[in-house]
Amino acid sequence: MTTGTSSRRSSGAARRQPTSLLGELRELAGSAPARAAAACWDYLRGAADTDDRELLAALFAQGTAPQLDGDYEGMIAGKLFGIPEAALLNPVVAVEPGWVGKSFDAATATGYNRLNRIAYLALRAAVPRYSGWVRTSAVYQGFRFGYRVERASLAPFVQVAAVTYTDPALGNPRSRIVPIERVRDELVELVPGVYLGRALMGSRTGEIRVIGYFALRAPLRETNR
């Protein structure tokens, strides 16, 4: 009984004090950036495993504008919510999360989503006319985006790397099955090399809502700089 109470108090303290947690990790990053990045990633994985949206939102609010360039490993942080498709997609994602990260090119301010073969095949069937796929080793890149640092579109109105898919030059498909043109991703840096993102979707009436969280981390060589 005492152990359960202690565990709940510890979990509650973590949710209430994300500023303190990030402060400690950022201080650690000054002397041991790889250790800080690994600890932050593990913490986000714990929040994802428990679908702790309150904690993820609190951490996002404490993030800073990131500078992104290169390939990043991705993690879906918890379940999708706020859209009818969530009930169908969440069980699938739990078994096989097909999204594995994002790639950014700072020189052109564009990038790609990174997918495994299972996700690639599913999306190829869903949007057969889309021809923007690029294969690199076991990863498939597709659904290009542009990105820039700007104010978040929803509270908290922090500076974010805003990822959008609407520019016709990107060649993304317009599909009722995969409405990528209505998606906007917003990313903040928690510690060097680890980033927390939230996925937003706009409705046809103009309403914008958060539908999920995700995380990215840089390759170890970048974290150690």
Residue 122 falls within a domain, yes or no?
no
Residue 18 falls within a domain, yes or no?
yes
- Residues 204-217: tens digit of each pLDDT: 788 898 988 999 99
Q: Tell me which residue range forms the domain holding 184.
A: 2-114+144-223
On the 0-12 / 13-18 / 19+ scale of CB atoms within 10 A, 29 is buried
Residue 127 falls within a domain, yes or no?
no
**pLDDT, position 213:** 94
How many domains does the chain fold into?
A: 1
Residue 138 falls within a domain, yes or no?
no
Q: What is the 3-state secondary structure (H, E, C) of the chain?
A: CHHHHHHHHHHHHHHHCHHHHHHHHHHHHHHCHHHHHHHHHHHHHHHHHCCCHHHHHHHHHCCECCCCCEEEEEEEECCCCCCCCHHHHHHHHHHCCCEEEEEEECCCCEEEEEECHHHHHHHHHHCCCCCCCEEECCEEEEEEEEEEEEECCCCCCCEEEEEECCCHHHCCCCCCCCCHHHEEEEEEEEECCEEEEEEEEECCCCCEEEEEEEEEECCHHHHCC
- Residues 110-149: tens digit of each pLDDT: 999 999 998 888 888 888 999 999 998 889 999 999 999 9
Residue 128 falls within a domain, yes or no?
no
User: What tens-digit pLDDT sequence spans the chain (225 residues)?
Assistant: 444 443 444 444 444 477 788 999 999 999 999 999 999 999 999 999 999 999 999 999 999 999 999 999 999 997 776 555 554 444 444 444 688 999 999 999 999 999 999 888 888 888 899 999 999 888 999 999 999 999 999 999 999 999 999 999 999 988 877 788 888 999 999 999 999 999 998 887 888 989 889 999 997 554 444
Residue 174 falls within a domain, yes or no?
yes
Task: List the structure tokens of 56.
Answer: 């993820």
Residue 199 falls within a domain, yes or no?
yes
Residue 205 falls within a domain, yes or no?
yes
Backbone angles phi, psi at 134, to 5 degrees: -130, 125
